[in-house]
Amino acid sequence: MQNEVKQILHRHFGKRSELISILQKIQQEHGYLPLEAMQDTASKLKIPDSAVFAVATFYSQFRFKPCGEKLIKICLGTACHVRGADRFLDNLKKELGIEEGETTPDGKYTLESVACIGCCALSPCLTVNEEVVANITSPKLRKLIVKK
């Protein structure tokens, strides 16, 4: 882990001002921020671990546990909410057997909610690994989570 963090820090000049970029790169590599990588980052930047954790926990883009193969982010923003997003979230929880922020035991799905994904005219919507699924319906939802 240290070599990898070292390379990322080298590419980002190892400056404290690059901390967010460094954390983004680490997350790109691993899909989340492993504790050891955050500690290595703090050590290499010569800042306390708590400074790295404070930044990482402030931004919702960072995750601290491995993610499923499919990351489903359902939008609960106003436009999606008024078009039944809560009901679709409940259906996803029930079908997948997990709560928000959790990953199915087989590692296939992680379920999260977000405030708005910027395509309110297509509500209700969600993303699967950054791909937008617009105008959600129950049949569309079922197709998304068909277990193979």
Query: Which residues here bind ligand FES, judged by CB under 6 A?
Result: 75, 77-80, 116-120, 123, 125
Task: Answer yes or no: are the C-beta atoms of 86 and 76 closer than 8 Å.
Answer: yes
Cβ contacts of residue 43 below 8 Å, gap of 6+? none
Q: Which is nearer to ligand FES, 2 or 78 (CB)?
A: 78
- Shortest-Cβ-distance residue relative to ligand FES: 77
Q: Which is nearer to ligand FES, 97 or 118 (CB)?
A: 118
Paired residues of 114 in beta bridges: 75
Nearest distance in Å: CB 33, ligand FES: 26
Q: Which is nearer to ligand FES, 34 or 77 (CB)?
A: 77
Burial (Cβ within 10 Å: 0-12, 13-18, ≥19) of residue 95: middle
